[in-house]
Amino acid sequence: MKYIIYNEDEELDLSNSILFFSAGFCSPCKKIEPVVKKIFEDNDDIKIYKINIENMDDYPEEINDYDVKSIPYFVYVKNNEKKKTYQGTNCLNIENLIENE
């Protein structure tokens, strides 16, 4: 697992990634972050991008296309295609993002 704090100058690798939409003011986001790292720590094939929604205006249009309404919000992308989404902090639901894919 590679954990990346996304910035607007970076190109996303969406071959096998989880986009973790978060914000500095979001307490649930802060609490779930170490859990997310732990869930996927043994998966060498996946990249997790932590994306701060407070900077959405600075990001490329592709980031804004995910239509984030509430955080924490997770999007699993494989081969540049959105596969699954989840909004919330349930560990099992987060882990299940990549199940059967």
- Which pLDDT tens digit goes with each residue over 32-57? 999 999 989 888 899 999 999 998 87
Structure token pair of residue 56: 């959405």
Structure token pair of residue 96: 């299940």
Structure token pair of residue 74: 């997770």
The answer on pLDDT for 1 being more than 90 is no
What's the rounded mean pLDDT across residues 70-82?
Answer: 95
Name residue 51's beta-bridge partners: 21
Structure token pair of residue 33: 């972050």
Residue that has been written with the tokens 């096998």 in this structure:
16
Note the pLDDT of residue 12: 87
- Which pLDDT tens digit goes with each residue over 9-18? 778 899 999 9
**Which domains are present in the chain?**
2-98 (3.40.30.10)
